[in-house]
């Protein structure tokens, strides 16, 4: 099963990379509710076990030179995760997660150089976690790339650890059975990569590594000797897991890419109505007004009365240094800021028409990702 799971991890990662020729899809911060799911391979790190109670006494008495400390080794298993969360729009996410891990027992050894034969049983972990993540914006930090988004996360919560029928028999007929479950405190660390799918806004393929650990569970145990002596007690064991996973995450509030701009048919020839255009420019990734911008807006407000304006068109724009969805929202904020200043200058709000075009109508055509000052603007047109 482990080879199949590893194959899934590799093939899915390669498939996800093939979705982004030329880096067309763009990572963007998660805003609002999202859901996620993932699966993959789980490695249960070799567990140190300590047999306590009368079970430990019987074990030491039945095997010459034995002690109470041993090691439980497991085969590669599997892990599955379901989650629901909330993105704050600034890279931070918080979520609730349910998970499950299962590994078959491979060997049981130690206890004074004794090795148990006829090994069987499984180790299972059910978990409920509260996680916090941070998604890194590579474009803002380093200028790109836009088609991948690294993230780090950490979580704490609860786990139920179960050892189901883990047993073995030594050469002198002493049998050790570990069978039971315990509720323990759980914690985890996560490092992953997200690959957005261009054709489905909000859908992201994820690949990640997880470390999942718990405080030491205490599981019921029984030791039976060939002479018929029986000892009962519990086993305290370490429980550290390493997982490689692939999955999907879907954010519900992701805006679709802006529709292409369709050129408007030219209007019939007629005497043009008096009009005048004012340009208000903005700093990179900002929507607040500079002193110069307020002077231009004040001039537009004064002239709107002189030329008997019937309407004022306010159109926001952005350059191409961010994702289309982000730039659409940024151009809207810029247009709203200019409209608010016009109103403060005495222009009736009912005469103002506000539009936002994102990066779709540049003054200066540029390649994607270029910061062009003349494209970070709001146009005020008096009609």
Q: How many Å apart are CA 43 and CA 303, to the nearest integer?
A: 72
Q: Cα-flanking dihedrals φ and ψ of residue 326, to 5°?
A: -65, -45
pLDDT at residue 102, as a whole number: 98
Going through the chain in order, the beta strands assigned E by DSSP cover 31-44, 47-53, 69-74, 77-88, 92-110, 114-115, 117-135, 149-169, 175-196, 203-214, 218-224, 230-237, 240-251, 276-281, 312-316, 352-356, 377-382
Q: Phi/psi of residue 252, each to 5°?
A: -80, -25
**CA angle (282, 285, 290) in 5-degree steps:** 30
**pLDDT below 70 — which residues of the chain?**
1-26, 113-114, 255-275
- pLDDT (0 to 100) of residue 240: 97
Residues 6+ away with beta carbon under 8 Å from 66:
59, 60, 111, 112, 114
Q: What is the pLDDT of residues 230-286, one digit of tens each?
A: 899 999 999 999 999 999 999 998 765 555 555 666 655 554 544 588 899 999 889
Q: Calculate the CA dihedral of residues 336, 339, 340, 345 and round it to 10 degrees.
A: 160
Q: What is the DSSP string of 304-329?
A: HHHTT-S-EEEEE---SSS-HHHHHH
Over the Cα atoms of the chain, what is R_g?
A: 32
Q: What is the pLDDT of residue 244?
A: 98
Is 0.85 surpassed by the pTM of this model?
no
pLDDT at 246: 98
State residue 9's pLDDT score: 44
Q: Domains in the chain, ordered, with CATH?
A: 2-251 (2.40.160.20), 276-382 (3.30.1330.60)
Q: What are phi and psi of 199, to 5 degrees?
A: -75, -15
- 328 sits in the region (left: phi over 0; alpha: psi -120 to 50; else beta) called alpha
């Amino acid at each position: 099963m482990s080879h199949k799971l590893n194959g899934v991890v590799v093939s899915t990662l390669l498939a996800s990379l093939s979705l982004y020729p030329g880096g067309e899809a763009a990572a963007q911060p998660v805003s609002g509710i999202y859901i996620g799911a993932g699966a993959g391979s789980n490695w249960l790190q070799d567990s140190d076990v300590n047999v306590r109670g009368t079970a430990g006494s019987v074990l030491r008495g039945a095997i010459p030179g034995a002690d109470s400390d041993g090691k439980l080794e497991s085969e590669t298993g599997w892990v599955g995760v379901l989650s629901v969360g909330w993105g704050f729009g600034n890279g931070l996410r918080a979520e609730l997660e349910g998970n499950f891990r299962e590994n078959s027992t491979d060997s049981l050894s130690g206890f004074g150089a004794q090795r148990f034969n006829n090994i069987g049983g499984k180790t299972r972990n059910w978990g409920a976690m509260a996680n916090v993540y941070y998604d890194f914006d590579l474009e803002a930090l380093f200028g790109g790339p836009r088609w991948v988004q690294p993230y780090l996360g950490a979580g704490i919560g609860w786990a139920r650890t179960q050892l189901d029928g883990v047993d073995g028999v030594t050469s002198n007929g002493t049998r050790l059975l570990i069978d039971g479950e315990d509720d323990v405190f759980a914690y985890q660390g996560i490092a992953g990569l997200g690959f957005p799918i261009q054709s489905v806004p909000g859908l992201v393929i994820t690949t990640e590594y997880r470390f999942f650990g718990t405080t030491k569970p205490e599981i019921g145990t029984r030791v039976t000797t060939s002479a018929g002596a029986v000892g009962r007690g519990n086993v305290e064991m370490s429980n550290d897991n390493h997982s490689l996973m692939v999955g999907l995450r879907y954010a519900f509030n992701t805006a679709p890419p802006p529709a292409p701009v369709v050129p408007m048919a030219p209007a019939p020839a007629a005497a043009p109505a008096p009009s005048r255009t004012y340009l208000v420019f903005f700093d990179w990734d900002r929507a607040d007004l500079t002193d110069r911008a307020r002077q231009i807006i004040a001039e537009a407000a004064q002239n709107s009365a002189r030329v008997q304006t019937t309407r004022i068109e306010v159109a926001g724009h952005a350059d191409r240094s961010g994702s289309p969805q982000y730039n659409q929202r940024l151009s809207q904020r810029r247009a709203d800021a200019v409209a608010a200043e016009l109103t403060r200058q005495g222009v009736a709000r009912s005469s103002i028409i506000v539009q936002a075009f994102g990066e779709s109508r540049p003054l200066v055509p540029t390649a994607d990702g270029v910061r062009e000052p003349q494209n970070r603007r709001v146009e005020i047109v008096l009609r």
